[in-house]
Amino acid sequence: EVQLVESGEDLVQPGGSLRLSCAASGFTFTNYAMSWVRQAPGRGLEWVSSIDGSGSSTYYVDSVKGRFTISRDNSKSTLYLQMDSLRAEDSAIYYCAKIDSGSFLAAFHIWGQGTMVTVSS
């Protein structure tokens, strides 16, 4: 069974840092691009970042460029999101999602349950 399990939920102060993890199982991790998608409370879905299967290509939404870093460890089948200089508007549930392809141009096929990030003083 394909499964994605996020971790890293926390309450952090503005300007702080946090690293999210997503453990993948049930598929050949290195063959698929992966993404982070977030959802602020009561709001819609917003794509945050994607990384290709090898980890050599990454993309970010403009609002997090220079602050967030996506990475992956294919030996551990794990996806990461390093979040620095956090702002209140980054508060959201962060979902890890498997892209249905090795490239970025495909749907988000499988989603994790999400992990909550709260940025507040």
Name the site residues for another protein (rule: CB under 8 A).
Answer: 35, 37, 44-47, 50, 59, 61, 95, 100, 104-114
Closest distance of CB 10 from another protein, Å: 19
Closest distance of CB 78 from another protein, Å: 18
Q: For another protein, give the closer residue by CB, 41 or 75.
A: 41
What is the b/e burial string over 92-112, where b = at least 16 CB atoms within 10 angstroms of the residue's CB?
bbbbbbbbeeeeeeeebebeb
Tokens of 20: 């999210």
Q: For residues 119 and 13, is the Cβ–Cβ distance under 8 A?
A: yes
Q: For another protein, give the closer residue by CB, 5 or 12.
A: 5
Closest distance of CB 105 from another protein, Å: 5
H-state helical runs in 8-113: none
